[in-house]
Structure 1
Amino acid sequence: MTTSSSQPLFESAFLRKLDRLALLTRRAMVGDIQGERRSPRRGSSVEFADFRPYVHGDDIRQIDWNLYARMERFFLKLFVAEEELTIHLLVDNSASMDWGDPHKLTYARRLAAAFGYVALSTLDRVTVTAFAAGAGAQLRGVRGKAGALPLFAFLQRLNPGGAGNLVDACKRYARTAINPGPLILCSDLLDPHWEEALRALGSRPFEMTLLHILAPQELRPQLDGDFRLLDAETGETVEITADLETLQRYQTHLREWQETIERFCHGRGITYVQVDTAQPVEEFILTMLRRRGVFR
């Protein structure tokens, strides 16, 4: 699949590397149907979990006869059920993401594609939701390797929208999402109410990973002289003189902002990962996300 008519999302060699990854979850979650991931339910997989006393009506095939021989009481063997999860991919495609070199939304598309592909490879269900006002869209649950084609096609068609409202989008998603599971949010968080948005998602038992996507021009601006800056979403302008002192203040505020987000996430069990689009996405996935324990 492509982000344009000539640029593929990933080369086939990288997809083969993704086939060897798995998305890690910190706790067992209840899914819908049998898949390849541990569930808190008891089932009939090959991994032993516990015993419980036999009660009338239980399947006698589950009785542990060796234990009966020792204790002269009937106990059932319980096994870990392996069930699919729903992986929730949330992509911020508001106007502020339509910027940067390398382009932030293009990077977010590729990250979402990688997460989705890995989840589909392990038989989990994947849903993708875009957030921008006027351009929001959703790909409802797809499953299995066959789901990679509609997943990639959806992300390929995903265009930037206008002004976004991250809070409203997250509140709406928290109200309507079915089967909370791992949730990956790809956003630049350039919304003054980002804390309220994350709190809204935190009202449901998602296991959240925040990929905070910024371009190198935002992280390390190379400016000198007088500029008029335009807000891509509100249209508001501000005039600045970019000198060494201004850039140093900018770097200080940027660092404090990122640290504030990280503290907020840490206190709520959210995995926070800073993303610099200057780093090749393949390298970011195979090194940074594995190092942070997102993939194994």
Structure 2
Amino acid sequence: MEFIDHRPYQTGDDTRHLDPHLYARTGEFVVREYSLNQQLPVTIVLDLSGSMAAGKGEKRERAKLVAQLLGFAALAGGDRVQVVVPGDKGNKFSPRWHGAARADLMFDWIAKEQDAGRSDFQDALRTLRRNLPSHGLVIAISDWWDGDISPVLDILFSAGHEVLAVQILTPQEIDPAGIETGIVTIEDAETGEELELAIDAGLLSRYRKLFAARQEELRGLFNSKHWHFVTVSTDDDISQLFTRTLRAQGVLS
């Protein structure tokens, strides 16, 4: 809030804005007028770690596209936008942009970002809180495969931030139907650790149940704070996310 001027008190005015110093000098009730800054600081936290390279890079490219489109929506609405990419050497910050005329600069900055290596998205959000503008909007774009995220969400909530979480997954991560069965070796995209598994119908069924439970847990964590959690498949029509899903949830108008 920015101070503009004084004016005489009128019935119904907020008495917290009465100026006691002017009353002491003049004996008249005068209120201080303010203009409310409606500009919203928006921070887009973009996960480009190894796990986002799944599906031949479709997850990473889809995450970049979502970041660009949400960033443009914020710039077109008059908000200030900054993009943060967590990496193995810490968080990388873009400049702060304001105004739709800066959209191309933002698009280029996001497009040029590559594999961020091994990074802990949850830890990145925790350390990032010290650099966030007060009472801003945090758009966190990731596959959200981290473990217990509730502590970092509590930190962001207590600091007065709003959070929009966008989860980017491949169709095979959502439902592994058609995946090769038998003895297979899988490799962690970030640590390189290998694990040999016997994949059969029973294991795939268990995966589906655990995945559904995880999704329900994530939605519950965000909904309990009146935040939004949206899952996007790399096969989804991206226009539906903006014209239907986010509008239906009141994120976009």
1:230 alignment counterpart: 187
Shift of residue 97, structure 1, vs aligned partner: 0.7
1:5 alignment counterpart: none
- Aligned pairs for 1:145-294 (under 5 A) are 145-221=100-176, 222-225=178-181, 226-294=183-251
After superposition, the Cα gap between the structure-2 partners of 1:150 and 1:122, relative to the gap in structure 1 and judged at 3 Å, is same
Cα distance in 1, alignment partners of residues 158 and 31 from structure 2 = 37
One-letter code aligned to 1:108: A
Deviations 1:247-285 (A, max 9, x none): 111100000011111112222232111222211222212
Please give the TM-score of this superposition, normalised by the length of structure 1.
0.72
1:3 alignment counterpart: none
Unaligned runs of 5+ in 1: 1-29, 31-40, 45-49, 59-72
- Aligned residue for 1:83, secondary structure, equals coil
Higher normalized contact order (CA 8 Å, seq sep 6+, divided by chain length): 1
Cα distance in 2, alignment partners of residues 120 and 274 from structure 1 = 23
After superposition, the Cα gap between the structure-2 partners of 1:52 and 1:168, relative to the gap in structure 1 and judged at 3 Å, is closer
- Aligned residue for 1:131, secondary structure, equals strand
What is the count of residue pairs matched by the alignment? 238
Deviations 1:179-200 (A, max 9, x none): 3311110011122243333333
Comparing 74-83 and 131-140, the one that deviates more: 74-83
1:120 aligns with 2:75: yes
After superposition, the Cα gap between the structure-2 partners of 1:105 and 1:77, relative to the gap in structure 1 and judged at 3 Å, is same
Deviations 1:154-182 (A, max 9, x none): 10111112211223211211122223311
Do 2:134 and 2:160's aligned partners in 1 also have CA atoms closer than 8 Å? no
One-letter code aligned to 1:175: R
Cα distance in 1, alignment partners of residues 116 and 54 from structure 2 = 12
Unaligned runs of 5+ in 2: 6-11
1:98 alignment counterpart: 53
In proportion to residue count, which structure has more helix?
A: 2
Do 1:289 and 1:295's aligned partners in 2 also have CA atoms closer than 8 Å? yes
One-letter code aligned to 2:13: F
Shift of residue 82, structure 1, vs aligned partner: 4.2
Shift of residue 203, structure 1, vs aligned partner: 3.7
- What is the CA RMSD across the aligned residues, in angstroms? 2.6
1:37 alignment counterpart: none
